[in-house]
Structure 1
Amino acid sequence: MESEIVLTGCTVVDGRALAGVPPLPGAAVWVRGDRIAAVGPAAEVLAEAGDCRQVDLAGAYLTPGLVNMHTHLSLSLPGRGGDAVKGLSPYELAHYMADGARRTLHCGVTTVRCVAEKDHADFALRRAITSGQAAGPRIFTAGRALVCTGGHGHEGTDTLECDGADGFRRGVRDQVKAGADLIKVMISGGIAGEHESIHTRQLFADELAAAIETAHAWGRKVTAHAGPAPVIAEAVELGLDCVEHGYQLTPEVTALMAERGTALVPTLLVTRCKEFFDELGVPEWMQRRSLGAGPRHLESYAMALAAGVEVLLGSDMPPFWPFEGTNASVRELEHMSESGLGPARALHAGTLGPVRWLGAEADLGTVEPGKYADLIAMDGDPLATASAFRGVRWVMSGGRIVRDDQAGWNAP
């Protein structure tokens, strides 16, 4: 017999608030198996559910779990911290990534989009989580990111070097064969490549067109690591579905992105995280490039908001990483909110918006009957401040409680 729980003592709120769906105070949520069976006023839900276990959330706000759209569970930046990850054996890497997945789930991120992981270990980790052998968020992954020879990130086993249109077509098919849900391409330089700059063009139009056309033929969206406006504009014209970073956008490019429905995952943290860089021993040249790009990065983000571009939560830093009194996912969401998005749109950008991009809205993203019971609870109101997510104290994944601070435990 499948397990049943009724969650009481909560106010239900989700990203539909932007569409006029108000919070529901005094609510109850009936969870049957791994999905939500009913949501409504407590008396009604309790009457419908009958005699089953009740969990009192003691006045918490209940929302869908967060979705982090720019995740690297095997991240290895230049420096001693990254070198340590690069030195892991395949077995050690699997354990390292599994530990990161567990920490990610416990901090309230119940879904991630991996955008370049080493050795295709992400596929094995996804299978382990799905089968219940490991604890972690739901994983949507690009497998290995596609780069030109010597391109951004070419040094690691989380990328695949390709050249020419045929090479990029083959690269896309290779990731699809491995089980990729989406494709990532590196179309410009970035902050972590010593022998490049942010505005270095790295793919020619025929290569980019081949990658996008092939991915779309296989029903996969394409996202691109990209900084400079001219390269991004060309990619958007060719059908790019999402931009990562967007360090040097312009009003013209953001208008084009909005018109074509190209989303932006701004990763604001990566240009304002000196403490993180110092912790990992990131070299001075990269710190200068990253932190120096910060002001222009914020200007680009503001342009995107003004143009109506869909912006989505993504930290680039490991989602669970302790940073500035919270974790990387929440700190990124705070930056997005405080830099012009506002709390209600931030809630949408961290839940329903990403889920829609992933094409998973039938199962995720809102607190509604039929959806997976991927839920988090906190004492603060997320519609008043994105910092409410600092107070996440209870996490459920697929109907299973994995964190309960009041009871004083986390699931292994």
Structure 2
Amino acid sequence: MGVTAWLDCTLWDGATDGWRSDAGLLVDHSGRVLRVGSGDDVLAEARFLARAGSGGPDGAARVVQLDGARVVPGLVNGHVHFSLALPGPMQDSVHSASEADLVLLMAGNARETLHAGVTTVRLVGESRFVDFALKRAVAAGLVPGPRIRSAGHALCCTGGHGHDADGQEADGADGFRRATREQLRAGADLIKVCISGGISGEHEAIDTPQLTDEELRAVIDTAHDWGRKVTAHAGPSHAVERALALGLDGVEHGYELTRDVCDTMAAGGVWFTPTISVSRCEDYFVANRVPTWMIDRALGAGPRHWESLQHAIAAGVPIALGTDMPPQALYDGTTATVRELEHMQDAGMTPLEVMRAATANGARWLDEDGEYGTLVPGAAADLLVLDGDPLADVSALRDLRAVVQGGRVVRDDRDALRTRILR
């Protein structure tokens, strides 16, 4: 297939502050953006490449008319578990699954996540290393799904948070160093470590510290030596503060952050992925028969969790989108991904800040700025097509009508994204 000109759209490229009208995108045969410009300029270049026979393997050029629709980059969800195992039947099902069953479950979730407009995910805890098999299959085009970056297993102390789900237990500095290296050996793109309790551990509290400084230092130093970032499942500020002093790169959840700790995070460029939905999604928990003790703990953490997000916004902490809930899960009339973004807006972020958190920031977290999450030359041509204006109100994403990944249409609700050969 040759180059494709996507024409007649109003474009937000993820890198600038506003919309570009009468825009066009030229996408090469490998699914990357070649050019962004006016529709006329993009069309002219597509014609030139086709006539020169350099438009791609078949030498042809194609055109897709977007009829004035708004286009934004595909979303990047930075806190995902494709084999989510919350206490109750979900956990029982995952634990009893064979590796074949597990990877098929994850593949199904990956497909639904992609159709929900999430074109890249950061997996932060999966079981039995099957996430890396799925990552390879998606990259090879064997199964549909978002681009995957994965941490492998989350690391935890014996009996610590996640030990009965996706965690790999270890103890002592040597134990955690080895566990970190085992994730790296499997192909981990980052390392996730659980430094406190959380809402899903029955025999712990959110503010229970779970690693010694020596254990955490072993994880961070080892990962950094291998060029990988470390993010921490964390609840209380005292645990986060200790981790920051040791060089932590990111905080997940942050249920009980203070303004002082957020100021420290902002000064050090430490990322925050708030997953604010997990402390306010009662209907999802009930529908999945999560035990009452967990529902009560999650909802009870909600007010303080909300304050944490507001402290982070006020301090200027870099924030990235993450749901913890399945990205495609139905929640308040939309998906968990869109609802998370609405919560972020309601907490005080501007729509532009929220959209950056959902796109470019996800790539920036992994030092892959310009690879995806923006629509600039060289980036993956991951597009969402919609009618409304998410830079005015992110709820416009509720009316998503089409998803394009790497220049290939994967969802088209109106059957409108038809290509024609450029003559």
In structure 1, distance between residues paired with 2:288 and 2:378: 43
- Structure 2 counterpart SS, 1:7: strand
- The one-character-per-residue Cα deviations of 1:89-113 (angstroms, maximum 9, x if unpaired) are 2111111100110111111100000
State which of 56, 65, 68 in structure 1 corresponds to 2:74. 65
**Matched-pair contact (CA < 8 Å) for 2:115–2:403:** yes
Say whether 1:43 aligns with 2:17. no
Q: In structure 2, the residue corresponding to 1:17 is in which secondary structure?
A: coil
Superposition deviation, residue 165 in structure 1 = 0.5
Q: Distance in 1 between matches of 2:24 and 2:164?
A: 51
* Matching residue of 2:7: 8
* C-alpha displacement of 1:16: 2.2
> Which sections of structure 1, spanning at least 5 residues, go unmatched?
none
> Which of these residues, 268, 272, 281, is aligned with residue 264 of structure 1?
272
Residues 370 and 376 of structure 2 are in contact (CA less than 8 Å); yes or no, is this contact kept in structure 1? no
Deviation at 1:69, TM superposition (A): 0.3
The corresponding residue for 2:56 is none
Match of 1:86 in 2: 95
Q: How does 1:230-241 map to 2 (within 5 A)?
A: 230-241=238-249
Match status 1:362 vs 2:362:
no
Specify the SS of the correspondent of 2:410.
strand
2:77 maps to amino acid: N
Per the alignment, in what secondary structure is the counterpart of residue 83 of structure 2? coil
1:372 deviates by 1.1
Conserved 8 A contact 2:177-2:218: yes
1:75 matched residue in structure 2: 84
Query: Which residue in 2 is equivalent to 1:105?
Result: 114
Partner residue of 2:58? none
Say whether residues 1:133 and 2:130 are aligned partners. Answer: no
Q: Which deviations, in whole Å up to 9, do the C-alpha atoms of 1:383-411 show, x marking residues without a partner? A: 111111111111111121111111189xx
Q: Which residue number corresponds to residue 123 of structure 1?
A: 132
Decide whether the 8 Å contact of 1:246 with 1:300 is kept in 2: yes
Distance 2:159 2:330 in 1: 32
* Residue identity in the other structure for 2:393: T
Query: How large is the RMSD of aligned CA atoms in angstroms?
Result: 1.2
What is the match of residue 384 of structure 2? 376
| CA distance in 1 between partners of 2:120 and 2:248 (Å) | 22
Q: Which residue of 2 aligns with 1:218?
A: 226
Aligned counterpart in structure 1 of residue 258 of structure 2, from 250, 258, 269: 250
Q: Deviations over 1:247-298 (max 9, x none)?
A: 0011111111111111100000000000000011011100110001100000
**In 2: Cα distance, 1:408 partner to 1:281 partner:** 40
Conserved 8 A contact 2:160-2:194: yes
Instruction: Give the aligned length.
Output: 404
Runs (5+) with no aligned partner, structure 2: 51-60, 418-423
What per-residue deviation string (whole Å, max 9, x for no partner) do you get for residues 131-184 of structure 1? 11110000000000100000001013x211010011111111000000000000
Asked if the contact 1:82/1:280 (under 8 Å) is kept, the reply is no
* 2:15 counterpart SS class: helix
What is the TM-score normalised by the length of structure 2? 0.94
Matched residue type, 1:213:
D
Q: Distance in 2 between matches of 1:81 and 1:221?
A: 30
In structure 2, C-alpha distance between the alignment counterparts of 1:325 and 1:56, rounded to whole Å: 30
Instruction: Tell me the amino acid that sits aligned with residue 38 of structure 1.
Output: R
Q: Find the residue that maps to 2:82 and give its secondary structure.
A: coil
- Greater Cα shift, 162-171 or 73-82: 73-82
TM-score (norm 1): 0.96
Q: Give the letter for the 2:151 counterpart.
A: A
Q: Is the 8 A contact 1:15 1:345 kept in 2?
A: no
SS in 1 for 2:247: coil
Cα shift readout 1:160-212 (whole Å, capped 9, x = no counterpart): 10100111111110000000000000000000000000000000111011110
Separation in structure 1 between the aligned mates of residue 15 and residue 134 of structure 2, nearest angstrom:
31
SS of residue in 2 equivalent to 1:134: coil
Separation in structure 2 between the aligned mates of residue 49 and residue 217 of structure 1, nearest angstrom: 45
**2:27 is matched with which residue?**
31
Range moving further from structure 2, 51-60 or 228-237: 51-60
8 Å CA contact 2:13–2:376 kept in 1: the answer is: no
Distance 1:302 1:292 in 2: 17
- The 2-side partners of 1:408 and 1:125 are apart by 31
Matched residue of 1:16: which SS?
A: coil
Report the alpha carbon displacement of residue 80 of structure 1 after superposing the two structures with TM.
1.9
State the alpha-carbon separation in 2 of the partners of residues 334 and 230 from structure 1.
29
